[in-house]
A = this chain, B = another copy of it.
Amino acid sequence: MTATIVTLGELMMRLSPPRKLRLRQATSLDVCHGGAEANVAVSLANFGVESRFVSALPDSELGTQALMSLRAQGVDTRFVFRGAGRMGLYFMEEGADYRAGCVIYDRADSAFTCLDASRVDWDAVFDGADMFHLSGITPAISETTRALAERSVSEARNRGVHISIDLNYRERLWTYGVAPSEVLPAMVAQADTLIAGRGDCPACLGMDGDGENGSDEWVTTLGAKLKDRFANLTNIAITIRSSTTAEHHAWKAYLQQGEIEVFSRAYDMQNVIDRVGTGDAFSAGLIYGLVQGMSAQETANFAAAANCLKHAIVGDANCVTVDEVSALAGTTSFGRLRR
């Protein structure tokens, strides 16, 4: 059985200097495409899942190029509108060692920003869908996309589609006059699955764990509070990243399914190639585990292995197969050349 999963969000063109140059040093920029929900869509398509993406792109060569990147990876793009507005961009200066990376968003007035919820044929979008995934970035961009996000959640809810929300707090977004805490709690209250990073719950839900942020105590107490507040949630995932440098990160995840609480395997990544989209890789892994009916521990480990692999993939989206993720999740012998 193949699951059908819908995501909705913005796909941007990413421009980043090669060879870890600074932006100001660059005489060329590498191009790829990404966006939180698009990354989840692409990763799921690479897992062999039927992956539908709802979005809007400009009616220009740049929009066509972005669309091609989705099609190449097997995403169903029938619900990607083409029309007015810019191509959303972001410039990324990769970090290196102790030099932190930096993103410059240039996405104002993009085609997605203008996507009105009324243009979407929600019946068609959710036809046969098993899950719907959304991140906190979409309501953060503009009034229009906030309305789109809220509408999409209610449309999914009305059709009984499982809803997954990744809070995905970005402090540089949310500039149109509304705070995440005014928007996200209501959306989470309708969801089945919640995904949160270390800083997301305080900023988006006004909630925090006890003890040191990132500690096991902090995670489990936060998990308990979330369970108390949002009884609707059947899956609560909290991810814990610790970075020593831009290229050295440690990572693990916590997953709560009702009474069951597990921690995933932890990874210590010393040669991170591309940190962007690793959270989305986790989301896709989690969703895959859920639709495949894996146990909580298997799901957490599969999603953590997906996240780990993404750190070693250039570009926003996790270009790996289920076999590769399973192989990593199931071994302790790392890094052998297969030949």
Contact = CB atoms under 8 A, between A and B. Distances in A.
Interface of A: 15, 18-32, 60-62, 64-65, 68-69, 71-74, 86-87, 89, 91, 93, 95-106, 108-109, 170, 172, 243-249, 267, 269-273, 275-276, 308-309, 311-315, 319-320, 324, 327-328, 333-339
A32 B339 CA distance: 17
B309 A98 contact: yes
Contact of A71 (B19, B74, B244): B74
A118 B276 CA distance: 42
Nearest to A32: B27
B22 A31 contact: no
B315 A101 contact: no
A63 B244 CA distance: 30
18 contacts: A18-B28, A19-B314, A20-B312, A25-B319, A27-B31, A62-B104, A69-B72, A71-B71, A89-B89, A97-B272, A97-B273, A98-B308, A99-B309, A100-B334, A103-B337, A108-B109, A247-B271, A270-B270
Given A19-B18, A96-B273, A170-B339, A28 B30 contact: yes
Contact of A339 (B99, B172, B246, B273): B172
A269 B97 contact: yes
Nearest to A75: B71
Given A21-B314, A27-B30, A98-B269, 4 more contacts: A23-B61, A25-B314, A96-B313, A97-B272
Contact of A60 (B104, B271, B319): B104
A68 B72 contact: yes
Contact of A104 (B28, B61, B172, B248): B61
B27 A338 contact: no
A334 B22 contact: no
A172 B338 CA distance: 9
Given A24-B319, A62-B91, A335-B247, A99 B30 contact: no
A337 B275 contact: yes
Nearest to A58: B104
Contacts of A25: 314-315, 319
Given A20-B273, A271-B271, A100 B337 contact: yes
Nearest to A22: B319
Q: Which residue among A102, A109, A338 has the maximum number of chain B CB atoms within 10 Å of its CB?
A: A338
A248 B335 contact: yes
Nearest to A310: B99
Nearest to A319: B22
A174 B314 CA distance: 34
B270 A97 contact: yes
Q: Which residue among A30, A62, A99, A101 has the maximum number of chain B CB atoms within 10 Å of its CB?
A: A99
